[in-house]
């Protein structure tokens, strides 16, 4: 794990995450200081990549933005010179070549955000969540000390986290003209939520060797998925968000207890 000073680049990464992803910012601040050298560049990278398809209505420009990040990750994976950038520079210090390849799959999956076509089936949505939310979570966990054998459990948790975030975003996605679910019927939404909860419980059943500092952004995931399973109509209605107090309280408890 890097032990460099908290320089201007890391400060810029933290500021970007604080503005765009408050839960991950609070999670990083609840982690040990050394872990923030990994988490802030990772989370800043995720902010930049996740919003790249949405900052323009031109598909070609969005593709170019994503390709820029893929090129940067290729440089990191290659072990040679890496472009100077306030996020890429500290990210390169935090990653191994294999991590960069996992994140490249994340960027590639984000092409689905550019396309108007909906996910054709549940498996396609799950694949997207595994490459995006779960890939990010796995890199964070591995860089903070999770063993290779924990990947399946971390990815299960990441898919659950990604699904909860996807459910919460559905009103905005629909307003943007997207069809975010392959099947929007209440029974299908309920089953998706139940599958996400099963993944989360499976991951938490054997979590001792997974560093809590990487997993703190899961705060609120169980609440969202439980509510969606109980009341599928709450998804489209935008009634899934936990209260800010409840989310902060859960994060604080999990940070203190280590029981993510």
Report the length, in residues, of the chain: 260
What average pLDDT does range 186-203 have in this prediction? 98
Statement: the pTM of the whole predicted model exceeds 0.85: yes
What's the pLDDT at 32?
A: 94
Distances (CA, A) of 84 to 81, 89, 216: 9, 6, 30
Q: Inform me whether the pLDDT recorded for 199 exceeds 70.
A: yes
Distance CA 157, CA 196 (A): 8
What's the pLDDT at 3?
A: 47
Give the model confidence (pLDDT) of 88-125 as tens digits. 999 999 999 999 999 999 999 999 999 878 899 999 99
Q: Which residue has the tokens 């939520």?
A: 193
Sorted by where each begins, the domain ranges of the chain are 1-96+110-115, 116-260
Q: Distance between the two ends of the chain, CA-based, in angstroms?
A: 21
6: confidence class by pLDDT, cuts 50, 70, 90: confident
What average pLDDT does range 237-244 have in this prediction? 94
Give the model confidence (pLDDT) of 37-63 as tens digits. 999 999 999 999 999 998 887 899 999
Own/partner pairs, 192-197, CB within 8 angstroms, 24+ separation? 192/122, 192/125, 192/163, 192/228, 193/163, 193/167, 193/225, 193/226, 193/228, 193/229, 193/232, 194/229, 196/159, 196/160, 196/163, 196/164, 196/221, 196/225, 197/160, 197/222, 197/225, 197/226, 197/229
Distance CA 165, CA 62 (A): 22
């Amino acid at each position: 794990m890097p032990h460099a000073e908290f320089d201007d680049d890391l400060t810029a990464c933290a500021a970007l995450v604080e503005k765009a992803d408050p839960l991950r910012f609070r999670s990083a601040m609840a982690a040990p200081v050394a872990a923030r050298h990994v988490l802030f560049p990772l989370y800043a990278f995720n902010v930049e990549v996740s919003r790249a398809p949405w900052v323009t209505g031109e598909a070609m420009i969005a593709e170019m933005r994503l390709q820029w990040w893929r090129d940067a990750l290729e440089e990191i994976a290659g072990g040679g010179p890496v472009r100077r950038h306030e996020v890429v520079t500290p990210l390169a210090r935090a990653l191994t070549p294999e991590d960069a390849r996992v994140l490249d799959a994340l960027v590639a999956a984000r092409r689905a955000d550019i396309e108007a076509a909906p996910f054709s089936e549940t498996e396609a949505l799950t694949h997207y969540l595994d490459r995006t939310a779960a890939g990010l979570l796995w890199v964070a966990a591995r860089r903070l000390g999770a063993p290779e054998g924990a990947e399946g459990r971390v990815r299960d948790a990441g898919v659950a986290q990604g699904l909860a975030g996807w459910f919460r975003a559905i009103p905005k996605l629909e307003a943007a003209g997207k069809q975010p679910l392959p099947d929007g019927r209440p029974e299908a939404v309920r089953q998706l939520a139940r599958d996400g909860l099963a993944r989360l419980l499976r991951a938490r059943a054997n979590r001792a060797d997974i560093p809590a500092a990487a997993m703190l952004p899961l705060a609120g995931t169980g609440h969202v998925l439980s509510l969606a399973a109980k009341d599928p109509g709450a998804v489209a209605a935008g009634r899934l968000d936990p209260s800010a107090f409840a989310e902060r309280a859960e994060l604080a408890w999990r940070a203190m207890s280590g029981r993510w």
